[in-house]
């Protein structure tokens, strides 16, 4: 009997002649956490889709041995039946349903042909307890934050008696505290003998959690090592094939006069007991990178939505750009006025999944390409698309590929390209490097400096404190819809930000 619960041998997977995986081998022992690392587009999600039957047997070559038997899954159901559960990079729960309905979707408990609601309710309570989620099973999913939804996904996997849990970038949208909780739950599951394949670009998590680390690059296996013997730099080197001497390429750059003034921003959902954004005023200088920190739910995203005219609910704000008062009621007007935003929830606000990579980039600029011709000047469009694919190193087989086929990180780059194409004066980035690998992050930071050097101003919302500290010139901290502090980046520490983000009293620093 093999010592492994899961053994992947020599997996090769092609997409229309392009090899996304080229002979990858990976093993997981019972009760072991193995992290899978690699750059954006290196094939991590594809490999896990092979394991979980999303890509069925026959669509790849190589062998999968699970629990001593060949697994030749025709679909997800087959892999679930043997105890493999996958939580995909983009959450797949149904927002309109309750927690209970989501957990039992397609798996309902019935009694004499009728739904046994009572049994399902009880079972859901037990499952929620296991993932330390203190909510009512009948809570509509859309009322939960991303972190809580993630835990519901895990509860759902546990309900299927998973023996191997695959987590594809589970923490990319979570706060520090939620991440701690998630890691703790994975550790608890490991103690119960459940194995885990963990995919993350956050190498500190990878090292804190895993027993072994497997690294792939461009679909090829680079190696597998015991986590104990590795440093973050070792992993980076294996991932990118070279050492990155620093993670944050801070550059001195000129900061000019105030160009944007935001006064008394307010945003509230209908029927809510308190506003999500409550009387916030701040300004932004030319060439400045302004970081916005705070816990998830502190109102950072909603504040940005106010500025960009896409808040769903009641909002008011006075915005002055270059001394000119703006009246922004939708995103189109915001873009027209020179304010662009890369949204947090890319699946909902960022991309049109079935449209090509190229067209997703040029969507906000189509007017421009059809200015002198009837229809769209595809030649000019193509030239620009290629330019941005090169500048942001977007990994795609062609400009015509449907964007949903791009890896998560590369989709993010396309969204960024789309906004940059509108040549805004103020660029709002809401979690700009979420799901982006260390090498590409570095490229994005460098690009941000290039943009501010050209005179653009950037507002960056980020939950990653090292990023906030490493990139911003100035940092605002929000807490429960209010502005709690303002800091210059010099001398600023993570502790100071956290202190402020959870503090009760209003402070003002400079
Ligand atoms: N359905 C598909 N059709 C065509 N190409 C695809 C498809 N799915 C994935 N690819 C390609 O396979 C490669 C690997 O993608 P994959 O999603 O596995 O990367 P990843 O390592 O998970 O990256 P990320 O860290 O960005 O999530 C990419 O180049 C991607 O464009
Ligand atoms: Mg992926």
87-115 pLDDT per residue, tens: 987 777 888 899 999 999 877 887 887 88
Is the CB of residue 412 below 6 angstroms from any atom belonging to ligand 1? no
Ligand nearest to the CA of 40: 1
Cα-to-centroid distance, 309 and ligand 2 (Å)? 31
User: From the CA of 14, which ligand is nearest?
Assistant: 1
Tell me how many degrees the CA angle 505-507-510 measures, rounded to the nearest 5: 170
With the most atoms of ligand 1 within 8 angstroms of its CB, the residue from 8, 407, 411, 443 to mutate is 407
Q: Is the pLDDT of residue 505 over 80?
A: no
What is the C-alpha to C-alpha distance for residues 64 and 44, in angstroms, rounded to an integer? 16
> pLDDT tier at 506 (50, 70, 90 boundaries)?
very low
The answer to whether 288 touches 252, Cβ cutoff 8 Å, is: no
- What does each C-alpha distance from 26 to 166, 203, 219 come to in angstroms? 13, 19, 12
**Minimum-distance ligand to the CA of 36?**
1
Q: In a 10 Å sphere around its CB, with 0-12 CB exposed, 13-18 middle and 19+ buried, how is residue 491 labelled?
A: exposed
Hey, which of 21, 38, 46 would you mutate to test ligand 1's pocket, going by the most ligand atoms within 8 Å of its Cβ? Answer: 46
pLDDT confidence of residue 155? 92
**Mean pLDDT taken over the chain:** 90
Point out the ligand nearest to the CA of residue 406: 1
Residue 309 Cβ contacting ligand 1 at under 6 Å: no
Tokens coding 110: 């019935």
How many CB atoms neighbour CB 57 within 10 A?
A: 16
Q: What gap in Å lies between CA 189 and CA 210, rounded to an integer?
A: 13
Ligand 1 contact via 15 beta carbon (within 6 Å): yes
pLDDT band at 23 (very low <50, low <70, confident <90, very high): very high
CA 83/CA 92 separation, integer angstroms: 19
- Among 233-237, 242-246, 491-495, which is the least confidently predicted range? 242-246
Ligand 1 contact via 121 beta carbon (within 6 Å): no
Which long-range contacts (C-beta less than 8 Å, at least 24 apart) are formed by 202-207? 202/171, 202/172, 203/37, 203/232, 203/235, 203/236, 203/438, 204/232, 205/171, 205/179, 206/35, 206/37, 206/235, 207/231, 207/232, 207/235
Cβ of 294 less than 6 Å from ligand 1:
no
Q: What's the pLDDT band for 441 if we cut at 50, 70, 90?
A: confident
Whether 433 is in the pocket of ligand 1, judged by its Cβ within 6 Å, is: no
Q: Is the CB of 299 under 6 A from ligand 1?
A: no
Helix, coil or strand: residue 277? strand
List the structure tokens of 241: 């094939």
Residue-wise pLDDT tens digits, 460-488: 999 888 899 999 999 999 999 999 999 99
- Kindly give the number of the ligand 1 atom that is closest to the alpha carbon of 437: 25
Cβ–Cβ contacts within 10 Å for residue 127, how many?
Answer: 22
> Bigger pLDDT: 232 or 349?
232
Task: Give the separation between CA 410 and CA 422, rounded to whole angstroms.
Answer: 19
What is this structure's pTM? 0.75
> For residue 49, which atom of ligand 1 is closest to its CA?
18
- CB count in 10 Å sphere of residue 345: 13
Q: Which domains does the chain have, with CATH numbers?
A: 6-240 (3.40.50.300), 244-338+424-510 (3.40.50.300), 351-417 (no CATH)
Nearest CA to ligand 1 atom 18: 43
Which one, of 477, 468, 481, 463, lies nearest residue 509 by Cα?
477
Tally of CA atoms within 13 A in the half-sphere of 498 that contains its CB: 9
Q: What is the pLDDT of residue 347?
A: 66
394 lines ligand 1 (CB under 6 A): no
Residue nearest to atom 12 of ligand 1 (CA): 20
Return the bridge partners of 265, or none. 280
> Is any atom of ligand 1 closer than 6 Å to the C-beta of 42?
yes
Q: Specify the pairing of strand 258-268 against strand 277-285.
A: antiparallel
């Amino acid at each position: 009997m093999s010592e492994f619960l899961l053994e992947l041998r020599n997996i090769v997977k092609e997409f229309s002649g392009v090899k996304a995986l080229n002979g990858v081998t990976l093993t997981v022992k019972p009760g072991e956490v193995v992290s899978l690392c690699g750059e954006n587009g290196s094939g991590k999600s594809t490999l896990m889709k092979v394991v979980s039957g999303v890509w069925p047997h026959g669509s790849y070559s190589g062998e999968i041995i699970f629990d001593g038997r060949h697994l030749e899954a025709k679909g997800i159901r087959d892999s679930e039946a043997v105890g493999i559960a996958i939580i995909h990079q983009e959450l797949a729960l149904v927002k309109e349903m309750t927690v209970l309905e989501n957990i039992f979707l397609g798996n309902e408990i019935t009694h004499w042909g009728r739904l046994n609601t009572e049994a399902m309710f009880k079972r859901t309570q037990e499952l929620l307890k296991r993932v330390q989620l203190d909510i009512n099973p009948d809570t509509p999913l859309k009322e939960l934050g991303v972190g809580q939804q993630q835990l519901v996904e895990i509860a759902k996997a546990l309900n299927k008696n998973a023996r191997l849990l695959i987590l594809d970038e589970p923490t990319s949208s979570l706060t520090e505290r939620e991440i701690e909780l998630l890691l703790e739950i994975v550790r608890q599951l490991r103690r119960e003998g459940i194995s885990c394949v963990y995919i993350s670009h956050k190498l500190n998590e990878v090292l804190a959690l895993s027993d072994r680390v497997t690294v792939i690059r461009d679909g090829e296996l680079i190696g597998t090592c015991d986590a104990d013997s590795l440093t973050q730099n070792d992993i980076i080197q294996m991932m990118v094939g070279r050492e990155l001497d620093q993670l944050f390429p801070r550059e001195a750059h000129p900061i000019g006069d105030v160009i944007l003034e935001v006064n008394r921003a307010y945003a509230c959902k209908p029927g809510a007991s308190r506003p999500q954004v409550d009387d916030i005023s701040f300004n932004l200088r030319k060439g400045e990178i302004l970081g916005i920190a705070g816990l998830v739910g502190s109102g950072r995203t909603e504040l940005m939505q106010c500025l960009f005219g896409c808040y769903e609910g009641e909002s008011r704000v006075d915005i002055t750009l270059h001394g000119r008062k703006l009246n922004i009621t939708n995103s189109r007007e915001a873009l027209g006025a020179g304010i662009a935003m890369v949204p947090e929830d890319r699946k909902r606000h960022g991309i049109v999944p079935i449209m090509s990579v190229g067209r997703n980039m040029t969507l906000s600029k189509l007017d421009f390409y059809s200015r002198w011709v009837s229809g769209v000047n595809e030649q000019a469009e193509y030239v620009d698309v290629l330019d941005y694919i090169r500048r942001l190193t977007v990994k795609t087989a062609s400009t015509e590929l449907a964007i949903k086929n791009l890896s998560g990180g590369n989709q993010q780059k396309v969204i960024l390209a789309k906004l940059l194409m509108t040549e805004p004066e103020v660029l709002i980035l809401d979690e700009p490097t979420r799901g982006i690998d260390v090498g590409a992050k570095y490229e994005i930071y460098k690009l941000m400096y290039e943009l501010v050097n050209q005179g653009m101003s950037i507002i960056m919302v980020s939950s990653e404190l090292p990023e906030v500290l490493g990139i911003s010139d100035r940092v605002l901290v929000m807490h429960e819809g209010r502005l709690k502090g303002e800091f210059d980046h010099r001398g600023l520490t993570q502790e100071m930000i956290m202190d402020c983000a959870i503090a009760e009293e209003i402070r003002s620093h400079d």
